[in-house]
Structures are given as C-alpha cells and as structure tokens.
Structure 1
C-alpha cells in the first residue's frame, strides 16, 4: 500500500511469503513524491514490524525505480541505519518519473541526457557502497521487454556502469495470473505483456519481443537472443523472477476509502485494505506462490543473499517445478566438485569436462494442487567472443541447445552427467527445463531451439499448465 497502484500491508505479504516457503523477499515500492516525502519512512516501520513477525524471513527494503528513458528497475539495500536515506536520496536525484526524464525515443531531444543520467545513477549507488554508507546495494532491470523501451545499448550501459551493482534483469515478470482463462479478458497475456511498439520503443526489436514465452520475457526465453548476446561477451548478467504482488488473483481484499483531505501525495500510502469476501480484479500471485528465485548461499543472512545474487548462484522456477537444482562443471582429471552457477572454470583447449546436473523433483503438490513433473532438461551452450562492437546487438549466433535429457517419470534426487569438450574458444552453458506441456520451435528457429517455450493464445494462458525452470550460466574460459 506504499505504491500508488497496490493495496496490501507488508504484514499480509510477509505472511503469504512465509506460507509459501520464502526465506527472503524484497519490498519495492514505486517511486513517487509521496513515497519519497512520507512513504519510505512509514514503510520502513512496517518492514521492521514484518521482520519481527517473521524472524525466519529476510525482508529487504527497496524501490521500484523509474529508469530515466527506460523501464522500471529493482533497487534494494542491505539493512542498516542509512537504508531509507539512501533510497529516498536516490529517488529524488535519479528517478526518471520524478525528474521528468522519461523520453527515450530514437533521436529525441532529451534521450541522450536521460540515458546518461541512468548510468550516473548506478555509478552513484556504487559509490555509496564503496564508501560504506550502506553495506550493500543491488540493481535489477524489471520486465525489460514489456514495452520494448530497454534498448540493448542501455542494458549494456547499465551493466558496465557498475557490474557489481547492476547485476542482471528479471527473466520472468510478475502478473503471471494475467491470462488465466476467464479472468481478465480475451486479449490478456501472462505477465501483462499486452503492448505494441511505441515511439519510445527501441525500433530494432521484432514484434514477438513484446510477448512472454512460458511466462518468461523474450530476452531470456529466446535461445541466442538478447540475454545470450550479453553472456557471449563473457560477463555474468543474472536473471531473477518475482511476484510483483500488486493485486492477487481471486483475492477478496480491496483498497480502503480515503479520509477527507488525504491522498497518496500527502500521505505516501494508500488506506489500509478491507476484505469484501468477493473476488477482486488482479493478475498477480502471492510472494512464492508461483514464482521463485533460488539463491545459493554459504550462510544465512541479508548480505549472504546479496553475495549469492552478485555471484550468480541463481536458478528460477515457476509453479514449484523443482525442489532442488545443483549444477557443476569440472575437468574430468580433477577430483573436486568443480564450479557452479555464475562461476568460471579455467581449462586448456581440448580438455574433457563433465556437466553434472543434480535434480531434486517436486515432492509435494504446489499451491494449485498439482504435483509438478519435470519432463526435460536442456543444455544451452554459447561461444564467448568478448565485448561487441555494436552495442545494440541482440543476437548470439553461436548459441543453441546442444543437449536435451528426457527425464519424464524420474523422481527423487538424481544426477545427469553430460560430457563437454573445450574447443578453441571460451564458452558458457546454462540450463532450462519444463513440464513438457507446451513446447515448440524457438524464436530463432528449430535448428537453434527445437522445443522451447511458445506464446499462449491471448486470454488462454493458465500458468500452472506451462511451467519452466532456468539457470544462470557457468563460464568456461579456454586458454
């Protein structure tokens, strides 16, 4: 209720996260003058209460930043005495909506200034971490292709401004319930990706970029596409998923009424929600109900989660498709466990390697009452060629699905061992898999991706019947 378009208390959201098994979550409210002036401080008090009520959960305070000339973005900090001050200072100095720095159109009079201001914003956050004003801060681009206004050169610019801060993007958006049949209308699409190119959109994106694929953003779902083109430069760029819990599907709560003389701008919050006992409009799921970001940590704590995210030890799933995933790449002549997601293995040309994928299948029904069953695991391999000369490149022509393992009917914990060979060039591997209910040729053709995710028909996208997992890459540096 500290966002102008939401309605829940933090206690409600934290309790839901606990119910669905979340260990950590981030509250990110939209930038607004009301939020900067009043809401952030009020929000912090409620976050402290939610932390006390849910001592097993790590609850971060963050901000949904309007990137100058571009889309929304998650910014969040490690808890500490300056977390609210950093967020509100950042909001006032660098938010595109608050400053009026929204134009990102090709050739627009203010586009270059606005894009440069976004880079300065990320550099400013990096400086706050470097000086110790906050212990840590991270940034992730939200729903990058929803409007087509995050151009490839902007995303590379944000990454390069401070790669230890701007660590990645949302691989799958929230609003995953948007296209449940009969819920919102005949034109609805998972993730609310229901837009067409505008004057603000980068003109190089194809029409299919504005859809989701198995609930995932086109940038992530396209093998050999935008995400792969960034990974092929040899730099880690992580993916995450979130619930974006504004208004929950089939939920019965509504926004309360404003007292006389009050509004969002002069209070920084919406009135407390009230229960109607009648389902209200919504597209989202509760935190952890459908979308989950799994982070590998070495200990329990806020900074450990942020360190795991920064290191890229991340995989995602929808619909509670898996209970566990462990990925290792090692040289066959080594006796150790090798390197895991986000890591780098240094090898010599011609060395034999093994990719070990340990899967733990779902052991209980998900919140929809379905026992998820993984049907296949895909290995995607891409050649690393270094920084691109064209900062707007969005294709990685040497990336494709190189191996598919049929795991239909396999349950419990099992390990797949896939042989790899180091060729002349460095490369990376990443993983993907699904319940096998909706597959087809990928956006760049069957020779690259023979059975990838496909768009659903408008208004007919039951998310529980098309669930996927994705992992971050492991890099193999060849010398």
Structure 2
C-alpha cells in the first residue's frame, strides 16, 4: 500500500483521531508487552490416556512456534504413585536442552464435584512433592469425590485454600487454575465457577474458551466425531438447567464462550475478571507419524508411564488421533512484560490474552483509550462520566500457510459490548445487555479500525471476536457431528477490556 493510500485508509478508519484521544506521548497499551504464544493443557506418556515423551511433545510444540508450555498429565492413582517425580526429571532435562521454551510441570486436576482443570505453579519449592500432595488429597480419581454434590464442591474449595496456604507460607510464589472444557459434560455449574473465583480471584482466573481435541470433528477420522469431544448429553452429574445445545461446540468454541449474552458474558456483566484460553489438550495428534508401541495392558497401572512412542511411516487420522500439537491449531497469546515464566503467569492472571484457531490472524491488538489513559485486554479503564472512549483495533492478517497448507483469511471482526450491571444470582446463565456494537471487514494485510463511544454514562466492557466466515454466517454455528473439519471454520477471540465510570 502506498503512503498516500495508507493515510487515506487510516483517515477513513478514524485512526488519526486516536492520537488525540491517547494524548501526546501516550503509548499503545499493547506495545508495552511481548506477546507470547503457548498452551497450558498438554499430555505426555505419564497420562493414562497419553503417548508422547516429554521431548516429543516439546519438539512438536517448537515446530509450531510455541513460546511457553505447561505439561498437565491427568490425576490418577498410578500417576500419583509413580509419575510425578519421573515427569519432573524429564522436564528438568528438557529445560536445559530447550532453553528457548518456558516450561511448567502442572497437572490436569479432576476437580471434586466437577470435571477437569489445569493447575500449575510459579517458583515452587519441591514442586513435585506439592503436586503429589495436592493430587493425593484433592483429586477425585484418588479420593472418590467425583459426584456433583455440596460436600464435594466444598472439597474443591478446600483444594484452593491449600494453594492459598502454600503461597502465604512461601512454598510457592503463585498458582493458576483454569477450568478445562467446561461444557463437554456440563458438570461445572455457574455457582461453582463463581465460588472458586470469589475465593481466590488471583488463582482461579478463567476457563478454556475453546477445548482441545479440535480434530475430532474432521470427516477424515470417520463418522460420529465432535470438535473437542463434545458429543455428550446430560448425565447424573450434569447441571440440570444447561440446555441440550450447550453440550456442543460452536465454531470450535465452548457454548459458554460462543453464545453472545451467555455464561461468559454473565460473568463479565458482574465485573469479574474471568478470562478465556484455547488449548491443544494434546494426547494423540492428528496426521502425526509418531505411534504408540505395543505394551502390556497393565503397563500404566504398574509404572505410571507408557512405553516411549516411536516414529512410524503413515500419518494417523483415525481415533484417537484427534488432537494437535501445542500452537499447531490453537494459540493462547499472552502479553508478558518479560520472557519469563512469572511474567507469562502474570499476563494470564491479568487477562492480557487473545486466542486464535488455525492461524487466522498473525497478530491482534486491542486497546481502549480516553483522555489520559489507555488499557488493553484484561485492563480496566477508569473515566469520568461524560467522557468519550475510543477503541483501537489492529489486526495483522495471515500471510503464511498454516499446518493444513493454506493461508486463512479473516473476513470479519466484531466489537461486542456488554453492560456491567453488578452481581447477580450465583446460578445466572445469561445477560440480556450484550450486543455486537460494530463489525469490520479487513481489506488489507494490516487492518486498523476504531470506534468511539460518546458521552459514556454507565460502566461496560468490550471484547472482540473474528471469523473466516466459511460457514456462510458470521455467528458461530453448531458443529455438525462427523462433518466439522476444524480448518474450515476458524475463529479468534480476545479477552475483555472494562470501562469503569466515575
């Protein structure tokens, strides 16, 4: 684009007025951070349902541009008895061998009274010992606390208090918990999300906005698959008020996230910092040539470890090969002040996160500004009543083929606005005060858009979503069983920015 054309484009988008809104010398909020791609939900041979060695998982992650990775093998009796120290040793070797990758030793916690969540620590003394202790006391596979009932929900809160105690006594600097695939079985109720977050808003900070196992809906793997493994119906431990449509993905995203005015928006409407991520949930990766070797049926039960997988010859597509390597399909991009584990955790905790599928966008910047200040994703912009508030969106569209071999095209970005109305019932599933405020159609490789809210009077939040529009509609559509190639329906989402009015 010529400089004249570029200037006309920026004028048409209203960008030349943004400098005045920001004030002279005020930098874009997004420019303060390094934006690092990663994944907090991946498995190895130390999961009862996994396969990859730690090094195989890391090499795959690095091939796809991963900057940070948490290894989160499943809680399990054999895992607690045999796997934790062995995983720690493998990760120490990997950290020395691959210093370019920020690594965590976490776990996928079977949450009492619910389903699964990611857990990982910052600067923990005796990390393996703390993980084993936590798993032994608070994982429902070990203590029988699976059923959805008040006693088990209280046990989940006791687990969070355990982490708070470890932080207070200096055993660890911090911890993070993300609820995984919340609507896959509908077993985590809205009041459980609120209760955990209320107890520890610096620990339980969000959920997977999109589950892993995205290849499960690909017709190549055979009939009957569902993106994310969302093929279930309500069960005995499911939260009864969830409607039947909640158990499906929409453009690969969880119903809680994809439904405008739904569960996620109801939490944001209360002003809660409840953030979304997107992850691989990597166990067996679609089209990979690494395969599990034959082993005794009791191999994992006796040792807490599957035999090392080996390189094969034929790309695998049949079940259970329905996942992707970290950052191959799903990316969680975090704004970090430094390239350190602590800075990534701080960025996740603060909600400085956007997520994308299939390489839909190379970069996505989202700022909200008013006289004297600017905030990016996860931030809270405080303004005086009657102020003007301007949104600045910058998207760098994809120019390189993704893992499926094509360059995706972002066809539309939606700016979504929701009113912050204060706390509601702990069982709230929806809020009516949310709408798509404005939509943009990117036309250049570097797309820049603005929107100004005049004379703001009440608090609100803003978030973005984008799509390739390949389903013929710009609203997320329910993914069809066995006919939902993930590469043919790509979306991206940002976390919100809150505008607080004084």
**What is the TM-score when the length of structure 2 is the normalising length?**
0.88
**Correspondent of 1:171 among 199, 206, 209:** 209
User: Is 1:124 aligned with 2:169?
Assistant: no
SS of residue paired to 1:113: helix
Q: Is the 8 A contact 1:356 1:418 kept in 2?
A: yes
User: Is 1:204 aligned with 2:227?
Assistant: no
**What corresponds to 1:445 in structure 2?**
none
Cα distance change of structure 1 residues 139 and 439 upon mapping to structure 2, 3 Å threshold: farther
Map of 1:62-461 to 2, 5 A cutoff? 62-104=106-148, 111-185=149-223, 187-258=224-295, 263-280=299-316, 281=319, 282-331=321-370, 333-334=371-372, 336=373, 338-388=374-424, 390-407=425-442, 409-411=443-445, 413-421=446-454, 423-438=456-471, 440=473, 451-461=474-484
Q: CA RMSD in A?
A: 1.5
SS of residue paired to 1:303: helix
What displacement does 1:401 show? Answer: 0.9
**Correspondent of 1:462 among 449, 469, 485:** 485
**What corresponds to 1:4 in structure 2?**
48
Work out the CA distance in 2 between the residues paired with 1:122 and 1:73. Answer: 12
Deviations 1:338-381 (A, max 9, x none): 01110101112221110001111112111111112111110111
Once the two structures are overlaid, the 10-residue window that deviates more, 316-325 or 416-425, is 416-425
Work out the CA distance in 2 between the residues paired with 1:82 and 1:425. Answer: 48
Deviations 1:155-176 (A, max 9, x none): 1111112010001000000001
What displacement does 1:425 show? Answer: 2.1
Work out the CA distance in 1 between the residues paired with 2:253 and 2:414. Answer: 16
Moved over 6 A (4+): none
Deviations 1:198-225 (A, max 9, x none): 1211111111100001100000001100
What displacement does 1:53 show? Answer: 2.1
Work out the CA distance in 2 between the residues paired with 1:121 and 1:405. Answer: 44
Deviations 1:236-280 (A, max 9, x none): 1010011011111122333233369x6323311111113342344
SS of residue paired to 1:177: helix
Work out the CA distance in 2 between the residues paired with 1:286 and 1:472. Answer: 23
Work out the CA distance in 1 between the residues paired with 2:77 and 2:236. Answer: 26
**What corresponds to 1:446 in structure 2?**
none
Q: Is the 8 A contact 2:280 2:329 kept in 1?
A: yes
Deviations 1:4-61 (A, max 9, x none): 0010001011011111001001100000111112101001111112222211100111
SS of residue paired to 1:202: coil
Q: Is the 8 A contact 1:211 1:218 kept in 2?
A: yes
Q: Is the 8 A contact 1:60 1:79 kept in 2?
A: no
Q: Is the 8 A contact 1:9 1:272 kept in 2?
A: yes
Q: Is the 8 A contact 1:329 1:340 kept in 2?
A: yes
Structure 1: any 5+ residue segments left out of the alignment?
A: 105-110, 441-450
Q: Is the 8 A contact 2:77 2:141 kept in 1?
A: no
Work out the CA distance in 1 between the residues paired with 2:47 and 2:477. Answer: 33
What displacement does 1:80 show? Answer: 4.2
Count of aligned pairs: 455
**What corresponds to 1:448 in structure 2?**
none
Deviations 1:62-112 (A, max 9, x none): 1000011111100011254321112111101111221100111xxxxxx11
Work out the CA distance in 1 between the residues paired with 2:209 and 2:472. Answer: 18
Work out the CA distance in 1 between the residues paired with 2:276 and 2:342. Answer: 19
Structure with larger RCO (C-alpha < 8 A, sep 6+)? 2
Structure 2: any 5+ residue segments left out of the alignment?
A: 1-44
SS of residue paired to 1:182: helix
**What corresponds to 1:30 in structure 2?**
74
What displacement does 1:415 show? Answer: 2.1
Cα distance change of structure 1 residues 6 and 136 upon mapping to structure 2, 3 Å threshold: same
**What is the TM-score when the length of structure 1 is the normalising length?**
0.92
Work out the CA distance in 2 between the residues paired with 1:422 and 1:76. Answer: 43
